[in-house]
Structure 1
Amino acid sequence: MALDLLLAGGTVLDATTGQSQRADVLIRDGQIAAIGADPGSSPGQALEGADGVQVYDASGKTISQGWMDMHVHFREPGQEHKETIETGARAAAWGGFTAVACMPNTEPPIATRDVVEFVRKRAEGLVVDVHPIGTVTKKREGEELAEMADMAQGGAVAFSDDGSPVQHGGLMRRALEYARTLDKTLLGHEEDLTLNPHGHMNEGAVATRLGLPGIPGLAEEAMIARDALLAEFTGGRFHVCHISTARAVDIVRQAKARGVPITAEACPHHWALTDAAVEDSQYDTHTKMHPPLRTAKDVQAIKDGLADGTIEVIATDHAPHAGYEKEVEFIEAPFGILGLETCWPLTVRDLVKPGVIALEDALRMLAVAPREVLGLPVPALEVGAAANLTIFDAETEWAFEERHIQSKSHNTPFVGSPMVGRAWAVVNNGLLVEVEA
């Protein structure tokens, strides 16, 4: 679809190089036609061919490659009462994302080529690119490998049984070997279920006080250690989803030092909150997620892992649930919260402003690293490239309110929370979507 647009007066920041410049960006027919301006000119006046096109005032804003969230749950097919591909993409665009990778724990799961192709078809014409992730095992049952090659040919970008771990070590070995032949990455929900049969929050002092069964960090750490060894042995690429404990971060750090092809992601709720939130909120089910909120020590370790590069990716684990599903007793509620709408402001508030990571690092974790992990091309910020852009700032102070939620569901603990930084618009697939304040 043709799009003629001038992004005027902004700062262009290339997430691949970290270089920035004050410049206008001219888009013609959905492609970047020109970047640059005379420093002394008015916005847009120095760009030849900019006459008569729609102008977006980007003054005070930054323009980068479009961001990608490589870990979302869009629930379609089968759970459209929670979210659909369309509503999930709406939430993603509002949060500044132009691409997502959706996990396969749908009903039916994304375990066959026809479901992969269904997801891709449903996403056609949206401003957000939706990349399906196929299952590792048939029906996510952990007993037999899925038809991974067939799904890859249909468009699956990676494989995961997310929501369930692959408990069988021998099966995981074969999956890594098979994925390597397909040049795909395996994404792991890291949890030894024999160490956590029925937990509902982090195992520790808070859970003891509240009388809730705990989920030990050991369950996550033991599985990461196993899969790091399997990745080292097979040479298959392995990615740790939603890392949440200090020891888990250290296991990944040590594996990287040995040259293991392992990567990891962190979610904003795991650095923004601790397990104390369950107690402080009086069992608010919006504080129940999987892995659970951990301790202050774990939060610091995640920040340290992001700072030193042990954790390459920021992802959200966007997990919508209908209101009635969360409006139950804590132990009856499903795990998961929304994440797309609050990812950027929590990143700025908790990581960029305090100096944990630089702005350029945050953009790399959002725009570049997710695509590198999945083997997808990183959008180019250059003349002749398709316009795949996010327009944002890292300064606006605001409070997240119920009206800001774009998802079909509303399960988030961050309503009323102070935020810093806003995504203001995305450009992709010949479309411009602006975010209302």
Structure 2
Amino acid sequence: MMLIKNGRLINPATNTDEVVDIAIKEGKIEKIGKIDENGYEKIIDAEGMIVAPGLIDVHVHFRDPGFEYKEDIMTGAASAAKGGFTTVVCMANTKPVVDNEEVLRYVQNKAENAPINVLQAAAITKGFMGKELVDMKALKEAGAPGFTDDGLPINDTALVMKAMEMAKELDVPLSFHEEDPSLIGNPGVNAGKVSEEMGLPGASNAAEDVMVARDCMMAIKTGAKVDIQHISSGVSVDMVRFAKSHGARVYAEASPHHFTLTEEAVREHGTFAKMNPPLRTEWDREKIIEGLKDDTIEIIATDHAPHTNEEKNVEFRNAPSGIIGLETSLALGITSLVKPGHLSYMKLMEKMSVKPAELYNLKTASIEPDMPADIVIFNPDEKWTAGDYASKAENTPFTGMELTGKVKYTICAGNIAYMDK
């Protein structure tokens, strides 16, 4: 039995913001209120700290199977736990691709030993080829919570329509990487002044906008639950807002790097600031924050994408895109959104727990009696310097940056998955 004392409970699911004690027994929340300390094996003094539902990241790459030298399920889970996450959804761009039950079971079996909940999304198309749909019904029955070809767009519009119709029938989300490759000269850097200085054509925001427009319109038509992944373009934010106003079940993710940095970071950090879609202009960054404020963008997701230093330390055009993000996500939300007054802690926790759970039909994002004891405890005012990662990788432009908001405990199913030393 565990007791959390004197913490400021922020629980968006019940709109609760008060100082309470929380008792945990057999992996579940037993009681909330003023609780006597007698009889508890573990007591955590959370005075001055925020106690919230465990964070949920619907967009991570744990590189397992096939690329375990970058990350694997256990190191990815450790990185997530250090960042306050109790549930993550892994993308399907592994080797082999998660497009069948056998590969899905491999991940599920390996994830049983992880300290947090590791869920595995399945591909939308076989082999990520964009030609033929997977057996979505069988994969859902096998435990896939949703479907995505993340990393690659699906150019066949009729096939996307068919996938949406099936997703609507099965009540599962489809998550889309929105970049038309025919409009990208060189991926990973915005087509603009920085790319011109580098002598690269870059990736135009139009590549994102046209795909977002297409999928938003089809979401209106089909009624499917659609997730626009790692939105980076201000125009795309407006497109999602338009689709929502017409009844579409469209969600959008914002990644911390897109609401914190601009293309200028590429000058300083080089390939460690290379990602798809790329960092864009200050106008785009402000539009993303505007979308977060008015709930056009409901979800904050990291797109945690580990690569080795050897892979990143090459000429820009030859380096893979992507950065790690699990261990800095909460602090960047606090530093870039809460402290400047854009979001409240309640709204930040909603975007990092309740809404991600809603997208994937999960029932874990609330601290209430009989609910799973998935909890993050953090000091909202503690300053720390990013670095010393639990991930195998360290490819991020945030290393060395002073951030505000430090995870002290991550508790999953009543067990301590991470404790700050």
TM range (shorter): over 0.9
Is it true that 1:57 corresponds to 2:45 in the alignment? yes
The answer as to whether partners of 1:345 and 1:419 remain within 8 angstroms in 2 is: yes
Tell me the matched-pair count: 421
Return the letter of the residue paired with 1:341: E
SS at match of 1:215: coil
Task: Work out the CA distance in 2 between the residues paired with 1:135 and 1:69.
Answer: 18
SS at match of 1:32: strand
Deviations 1:163-188 (A, max 9, x none): 00011101100010111111111100
* 1:347 and 2:344 are equivalent in the alignment: no
Greater alpha carbon shift after TM alignment, 111-120 vs 310-319: 111-120
Select between 294-303 and 124-133 the one with higher mean Cα deviation. 124-133
SS of the aligned residue for 1:385 comes to coil
What is residue 36 of structure 1 aligned with on the other side? 33
Alignment match, 1:47: 36
Q: Deviations over 1:387-434 (max 9, x none)?
A: 111111221122113x2x110111111111010101111111341133
One-letter amino acid of the structure 2 residue matched with residue 274 of structure 1: T
Q: CA deviation at 1:152?
A: 0.6
Corresponding position: 1:96 with 2:84: yes
Aligned counterpart, 2:304: 318
**Structure 2 residue 18 is matched with structure 1 residue 13:** no
Q: Using the TM superposition, give the Cα deviation of residue 52 of structure 1 relative to its aligned residue in structure 2, in angstroms.
A: 4.3
1:325-371 deviations in Å (ceiling 9; x for gaps)? 11111111000000000001100001001111111000000010001
**Equivalent residue, structure 1, for 2:320:** 334
RMSD (Å) for aligned C-alpha atoms: 1.3
The aligned counterpart of 2:374 is: 388
Indicate yes or no: 2:217 matched with 1:252. no
Structure 1 counterpart of 2:47, one-letter code: S
Deviation at 1:197, TM superposition (A): 4.9
User: Does the 8 Å CA contact 2:22/2:29 hold for their aligned counterparts?
Assistant: yes
- In structure 2, what is the equivalent of residue 280 of structure 1? 268
Q: 2:371 and 2:206 mapped to 1: Cα distance?
A: 46
8 Å CA contact retained: 1:126, 1:429? no
Which of the numbers 203, 217, 237 marks the counterpart of 1:215?
203
How far is 1:254 from its partner? 0.7
SS where residue 111 of structure 1 aligns? coil
Q: Give the structure 2 partner of residue 399 of structure 1.
A: 385
Counterpart-to-counterpart distance in 2, 1:384 and 1:187? 31
Instruction: Confirm whether residue 376 of structure 1 aligns to residue 362 of structure 2.
Output: yes
Q: Which residue of 2 aligns with 1:241?
A: 229
Q: Is the 8 A contact 1:231 1:260 kept in 2?
A: yes
Q: Is the 8 A contact 1:210 1:279 kept in 2?
A: no
Distance 1:135 1:23 in 2: 43
**Equivalent in 19, 22, 37 of residue 22 of structure 1:** 19
Deviating beyond 3 angstroms after TM superposition, the runs of 4 or more aligned structure 1 residues are: 197-200
**Residue identity opposite 2:412 in structure 1:** N
8 Å CA contact retained: 2:354, 2:366: no
Cα drift, residue 127 of structure 1: 2.4
Rounded to whole Å, the distance in 1 between the matches of 2:414 and 2:9 is: 19
1:182, 1:142 → 2: CA distance?
20
String of CA shifts for 1:174-220, please: whole Å, max 9, x gaps.
Answer: 01011111111110000111212543410011111121221000000
Fraction of identical pairs, as percent: 40
Q: In the alignment, is residue 308 of structure 1 matched against residue 294 of structure 2?
A: yes
Where in structure 2 are there 5+ consecutive unaligned residues?
A: none
Distance 1:72 1:102, change over 3 A: same
Q: Distance in 2 between matches of 1:248 and 1:264?
A: 10
With normalisation by structure 2, the TM-score equals 0.97
Query: 1:384 deviation in Å?
Result: 2.5
- The amino acid across from 1:87 in the alignment is T
Maintained 8 Å contact 2:7/2:48: yes
Give yes or no for contact 1:73–1:320 (8 Å, CA) kept in 2: yes
Shift in CA distance, 52/130, structure 1 to aligned 2, threshold 3 Å: closer
Partners of 2:55 and 2:191 in 1: how far apart?
34
Amino acid at match of 2:292: L
TM-score by length of 1: 0.94
What's the counterpart of residue 298 of structure 1?
A: 284
Shift of 1:33: 2.0
Distance in 1 of aligned mates of 2:369 and 2:295: 30
Distance in 1 (alpha carbons) for counterparts of 2:138 and 2:267: 47
What's 1:40 paired with? none
**Pairing 1:225–2:213 present:** yes
Q: Is the 8 A contact 1:63 1:391 kept in 2?
A: yes
Contact 1:372 1:378 in 2 (8 A): no
Query: 1:259: how far off?
Result: 0.9
Paired AA for residue 53 in structure 1: E
Answer whether contact 1:200 1:213 (CA < 8 A) is retained. no
Q: Which runs of 5+ in 1 are unaligned?
A: 38-45
Of 45, 60, 68, 1:80 maps to 68
Name the SS for the 1:60 alignment partner. coil
CA distance in 2, matches of 1:287, 1:199: 12
Separation in 1, partners of 2:294, 2:131: 37
Note the 1:256-275 alignment, pairs <5 A.
256-275=244-263
Q: For residues 86 and 110 of structure 2, what CA distance do their matches in structure 1 show? A: 16
Mapped partners of 1:198, 1:19: distance in 2 = 47
Q: Deviations over 1:107-149 (max 9, x none)?
A: 0011111111211111113221011110010000111111111
CA distance in 2, matches of 1:8, 1:430: 15
